[in-house]
Structure 1
Amino acid sequence: MVVALQRLPDSLTPLTVPKLRRLLFAQIPSDLADWLDFVALSALVAFQWQLGPVAVASLTLALALPYVVLAPAVGVLVDRADQRTLLIASNVIRAISTAAFVLAPNLVVLLVCVVIKSSADALFTPAKQAAIPLLATHDRLLSANSLSHVINQLTKIVGPALGGILTVFLDLQQIFLVNACLSLIAALILLGLPSGLRPDRMGAVRGKFGQEFIDGLVHIRRRPILATSILAMALGYFLIFLYDGLIALLVKEIGFSSALLGASVASAGAGGVIGALLLGQFFGQRDPFQLMIASGLVGGLLIAFMGHVGRGDIVIPAAAFCLLLFATGLASAGFFVPYRVVLQKETPLELLGRVAAVGEGLSAAAMMAAPPLGAGLAEIAGVAAPYLVSGYATACLAFVLLFVRRRVNNRNDLVPDD
């Protein structure tokens, strides 16, 4: 078994490190638990309880809000505590809150349970990001983050689909219990991580929560590449979610049948998975910030191209449309995965939780703000408009990143703090 693992391609070499392998294996049921009950929750609110759009919107808000509100506290907690404890605790809390969905008598109680579950999710993500550089060697950070991204993307595809299938065979309450078991399985796998999984904070003075969070902000301000990457990621998420929910309308606008919708979404997801694997295999030694720039430029132009197709400026067959979405997924991986590496290389381990939480909070806020603006833009200027605006704005963002990259002093050129 060990010999077989040692012969893996570069993109899979994180699996040769036993403790890192355990973390990645635990991410599979943990990430799957994020998405498996999404369909079931929507079905419970919309079909079983017969509630309207406001209830469904409040469910989405309950899922996203903890990432924004809890970012300061989560960041400090991750930097103070043992990552193993946090990773296990977040999955146990998620299991309990998910099981509580079964007992929720009304929307208010359900939303409280959803907020608790999402709060556990908001804790798991930065704790996982802080644990990866503690378990991976410095030269394997890109492949480790790439593999983590692959798992996340696959579960994002499989989870809702599996949830939809299970609604045919199981009651909604049974699906919630299955999902709770997945979180418990992740917690059990994580028990095998070493205790005391935290950075060496010798010489660091523990202050008040607020002051420690401000220390993280000060570090971000002092590192131009880091600050630019965090802002670029938040803007990137905003621009993606400006059009992301409109794919069904775009397919309809172009004149394709509804049967192409599933193939389109699958193509984009497959592109993200393949893109992450290619990054880990061939780009492990490249400057991650430059990868973000190149991917942002290519991805932005591809998104704008989709907008021109939607507006009727360009006519392409269905197969080419799916290929276009696949290429867009490839480019997105080249933006999101290197961002994690920039965070880990530009931030001392004892500050990584706070810095990662700031990024997660800003990205979550952007994701919450973008969809209504994208819908309003589509209503006013047509479905293609959000794609055109997002695509060309993303390409412009890449040029701004290139300008910043050239202005940064060489001594801060992605060199980690000692």
Structure 2
Amino acid sequence: MRLFALRDYRRLFGAQVIALFGTGLTTVALGLLAYDLAGARAGAVLSTALTVKMVMYVAIAPLAAAYVDRLPRRTFLFLLDAVRGLVVLALPLVTEVWHVYVLIGVLQAASAAFTPTFQAVIPDIVTDEADYTRALSASQVASTMESLLSPVLAAVALTFLSFDRLFLGTSAGFLLSAALVLSTRIPQARPSGRTGAWDRAAAGIRTFLRTPRLRGVLALNLVVAAAGSIVVVNTVNHVRDTLGGTQSDVAWMLAASGTGTLLTALALPRVLDRAAPRTVMTAGAAVLAGATVAAVALTATGLLTWTGTAVVWGAIGVGMALVITPTGKVLRASVARDALPEAFAAQFSLSHLAWLVTYPVAGWLGSAVGFTVTWSVLAVLAVAGTIGALVLWPRHEARTAPAAALAAPAPRAPRTDRSTLTKAA
């Protein structure tokens, strides 16, 4: 495959996959740690930890993008990976719930700076449009490692080990990812031309608010968060308390959602070569809204069995892939190349703002009134987001060249020799 013939992309992709393996183990282990510390209130504890995560993402990602062109990006990514690896080592030692919140805050602050920086690097390394589309899909496939292969690995590991040992695998993943980043040649970011930190941080958000297709993406973010929070927050209590499952069963059920995401992401590159992103993404929103409504109906009637849960969770995985995978392509078509870091950071921050709304609903409301009422609220949000996307993202706008592209078409990056790249990194 021509994409993976690019040495630097191949190494960065490897770093992403390895880190996501670690992140996936953390997702499983954190849920089980919450259950160990709080029992039936595990959903509330987990949703609070994830809310802390979202606050960090919303607050820090735009600031990271504001300064990314002033920093040596390779060194920055390496240090952030190293910080995450060291922080995770402390998680097995916690004895109080508040310890979890503090460590998650530090961990996710590093992740909030890492992700938009990593996303903004890819267009500078993969300059061909077709290859970039495939890179977006490959990145989505890698992201499913957190929800598919990592939970499967966790399920096998939990047969022999206690859940706190999973954090060791997470730490090793981050440190190995850091080593791969350090071996990659990453060019410096192009200066954005903005001098004020706030102006730079807010530039991407302003772009979202004034661009119809990006306003549609904002609504789609709400759909993804509403459906996804059911899987992320409520799986542990649903499997352990409602279905009477084990720790390994929690991991396998998370893998059911990841299976839907993985299979869909693998099929999407060819689809996106022919279909407009709006069509694919709104179809994904419809799948997510339908899955949340089905979850409400099944839990209200007591029919959300093992099979029913796996089917609904798998459908949520399919819908999430349909919405998330084309998002990078939409961003690249909507802004000039030198504004990509700010646009990616804005999407990262604004998408997690939606999760900041839905995580507390899934966790706190779920613990207080049960799944039927909680999932009904999330289903309403998913349906509202789907309708909002159809209204905010006009069909004709999907066929219109973006103003940024018309005003300043992004030139193909010039070839740079090894010595220049090494100095830049």
TM range (shorter): 0.7 to 0.9
The match for 1:87 among 64, 72, 77 is 77
What letter matches 1:373 in structure 2? V
2:269 paired residue number: 280
Superposition pairs of residues 35-50 of structure 1, within 5 angstroms: 35-41=24-30, 47=36
Cα distance in 1 for residues equivalent to 2:46 and 2:310: 30
* Native 8 Å contact 1:142 1:279 kept in 2: no
Structure 1 residues 410 and 284, CA gap change in structure 2 (3 angstroms): closer
> Gaps spanning 5+ residues in structure 2: where?
410-425
Q: CA deviation at 1:39?
A: 4.2
Structure 1 residues 290 and 205, CA gap change in structure 2 (3 angstroms): same
* Native 8 Å contact 1:250 1:310 kept in 2: no
* Coordinate RMSD, CA, aligned: 4.0
Superposition pairs of residues 184-199 of structure 1, within 5 angstroms: 184-198=175-189
> Gaps spanning 5+ residues in structure 1: where?
1-5, 7-12
TM (norm. structure 1) is 0.79
* Native 8 Å contact 1:303 1:390 kept in 2: no
- 1:140 counterpart = 2:131: yes
Structure 1 residues 30 and 262, CA gap change in structure 2 (3 angstroms): closer
Superposition pairs of residues 8-407 of structure 1, within 5 angstroms: 13-41=2-30, 47=36, 58-101=48-91, 111-136=101-126, 137-163=128-154, 166=157, 169=160, 175-198=166-189, 200-201=190-191, 204-229=192-217, 231-241=218-228, 243-244=230-231, 245-246=233-234, 265-312=254-301, 322-323=310-311, 325-374=313-362, 376=365, 379=370, 382=373, 385-386=376-377, 388-390=379-381, 392-401=383-392, 404-406=394-396
Q: CA deviation at 1:296?
A: 1.9
* Native 8 Å contact 2:335 2:405 kept in 1: no
Q: CA deviation at 1:223?
A: 2.7
TM (norm. structure 2) is 0.78
Cα distance in 1 for residues equivalent to 2:293 and 2:34: 36
2:413 paired residue number: none
Cα distance in 1 for residues equivalent to 2:55 and 2:396: 36
* Native 8 Å contact 2:147 2:257 kept in 1: no
Q: CA deviation at 1:116?
A: 1.9
Q: CA deviation at 1:273?
A: 0.3
* Native 8 Å contact 1:307 1:387 kept in 2: no
**Structure 2 residue matching 1:182: 3-state secondary structure:** helix
Structure 1 residues 401 and 295, CA gap change in structure 2 (3 angstroms): farther
What letter matches 1:208 in structure 2? G
Structure 1 residues 172 and 216, CA gap change in structure 2 (3 angstroms): same
* Native 8 Å contact 1:235 1:366 kept in 2: yes
* Native 8 Å contact 2:13 2:139 kept in 1: yes
CA displacement 1:169-189 (0-9 Å, x = unmatched):
557776544432221111111
Cα distance in 2 for residues equivalent to 1:140 and 1:339: 15
Cα distance in 2 for residues equivalent to 1:303 and 1:103: 36
